[in-house]
Amino acid sequence: MRLVIIGGDAAGMSAASQARRVDRGCEVVVLEQTEDVSYGACGLPYKLPDGNDMEDLKIISAERFRRERGIDLRLGHRVERIDPGARRVSGTGAVGPFEEPYDRLLVATGARIARPPIPGLEQLWGDGAYGLKTLEDGRVLKRALARRPRSAVVVGGGYIGLEATDNLREQGLEVTVVEALPHVLPFLPSELRDKIYAEAESRGVKVVLGTAVERVERAGGGLRLQTGAGELEADLVLVATGVRPCSELAAEAGIALGAAGSIAVNEQLETSVPGIYSAGDCADARHALTGRSVWIPLALRANRAGKLAGGNMLGRRDPAPPVLGTAVFKFFDQQVGRTGLTEDEAREEGHDPVAGAINASTRAKYYGGGGKLGVWLLADRKTHRLLGGAMVGPEGAAHRIDTVAACLHAGLTVEELYAMDLGYAPPFGPSWSPLLTCASQLSKKLG
């Protein structure tokens, strides 16, 4: 059995490793277009400040994959065509064109930065304007920071933009975040978003909302950005307006696409073409609450789907579990967590959603320290079933959100959450967990 895997990042290498664990006799060829495999992409923002090394993000070296796991890993191999009829992929590598036959194929091509069509951006890319998706992106941006820019504009107020803001500020830059939508982090309810704005302000970060960047160009020693709200000057621009699935290769081979142009897979992670699987940021997933195809590119999902695909390509029939989009991140001293549906998404699904929100102490008041944890829960008015949750606070949010995720997976109601026996000690929360307090408030609203 010869497996070929396109892409050597989280999903691809998880699949390759798992396939070799399941069957030591199978041949596994990984074709990776860059020179990097298996690195912690989620850590990129944290390696920007001085004293951190981008190369520390490498988890397992190519050499170790080859030697210890028996994986035929080929770097600098760019696949340009999938031929499902001939069960063959072809492309160009460092040593020229190549062709590889396969018995089973995994498309793990990931996602890439969606560069917005801002006039002037293209010319500055890599020299004034940057993205932060791949390890190489990280190296390029870090070299730019070594030239000691004093200011940055971050275009896009999603979590990558905000994580980068945190770390650029740590590096000493003046940072302005420009978001075209009326708000950063559109998945957060307004009560919790206000905490993000307050944190930004207390850190001297300017946030410009509802404002598109219309043009960027060199001016003096730096850059000038024309926006809907006037001109901004900065030494560099970081574009964090989101990513798109790398699904063109699959689409050209006749593989059906799903949500947001990602590669559609069934429960076993097989695409519409038998024998071709897909996993990671290029593929879709099923939402645990709606059953619909969704595209939510997050690390756990990529690792998990890769691992499952590695076994399924060898004949296993392990289903990929559905997702909730549970995500956490840090913005300076605030932890942010979210899971499940937003109010708008719930409404689109035909729910009559009711939200509750509270603000609770992160510790027993007399204990000292800590701060306020904002908790938001969403439920269906008729069934009282929980639909989503979010939290922002200086402690507790990043781990407490998993309790909401567990409730969503289990299909519990607000009242079932409220009845739970959750932990308490003065250093870690009030005796009524903030989650219980929020559930109580929401339960009263539901009547």
Known catalytic residues are: 42
Give the nearer residue to a second copy in terms of CB position, either 227 or 342: 342
- 358 scored as a contact of a second copy (CB under 8 A): no
Cα 263 to chain centroid distance, Å, stands at 17
Which of 68, 426, 444, 445 touches a second copy by CB under 8 A? Answer: 426
Closer Cβ to a second copy, 197 or 432, answer by number: 432
How far CA 99 is from CA of 88, 251, 432, in Å, comes to 7, 19, 62
CB of 144 to a second copy, least distance (A): 21
Residue from the set 20, 47, 193, 384 that interacts with a second copy by CB under 8 A:
47
User: Could you tell me which stretch among 28-36, 89-97, 276-284, 395-403 binds a second copy (CB under 8 A)?
Assistant: 395-403
Name the burial class of residue 344, with classes exposed (0-12), middle (13-18) and buried (19+) by CB atoms within 10 angstroms of its CB: exposed
In angstroms, the CA 39 to CA 305 distance is 17
Question: Using the rule CB under 8 A, which residue among 311, 337, 353, 388 binds a second copy?
Answer: 337
Secondary structure, 3-state, 242-269: CEEECCHHHHHCCCCECHHHCECCCCCC
Q: From the CB of 419, what's the least distance to a second copy, in Å?
A: 4
Write out the binding residues for a second copy, residues 427-446 only, by CB under 8 A: 427-429, 431-433, 435-436
**Contact of 235 with 152, CB cutoff 8 Å:** yes
204: which 2 tokens?
């001297």
Q: 185, 186, 157, 187: which is closest to 341 by C-alpha?
A: 187
Binding piece for a second copy, criterion CB under 8 A, among 130-138, 205-213, 234-242, 334-342 = 334-342
Nearer to a second copy, 202 or 431 (CB): 431
- Counting contacts by CB under 8 A, is residue 409 touching a second copy? yes
- Please work out, in degrees rounded to the nearest 5, the angle formed at the alpha carbon of residue 265 by the alpha carbons of 260 and 271: 115
Q: Which is nearer to a second copy, 51 or 221 (CB)?
A: 51
CA distances (Å), origin 382, targets 233, 322, 343, 446: 52, 24, 15, 8
129 counts as binding a second copy under rule CB under 8 A: no
What residues line the site for a second copy (CB under 8 A)? 10, 40, 42-43, 46-47, 56-57, 59, 288, 298-301, 303-304, 321-330, 335, 337, 339, 364, 366-367, 396, 398-403, 405-407, 409-410, 412, 416-417, 419-429, 431-433, 435-436
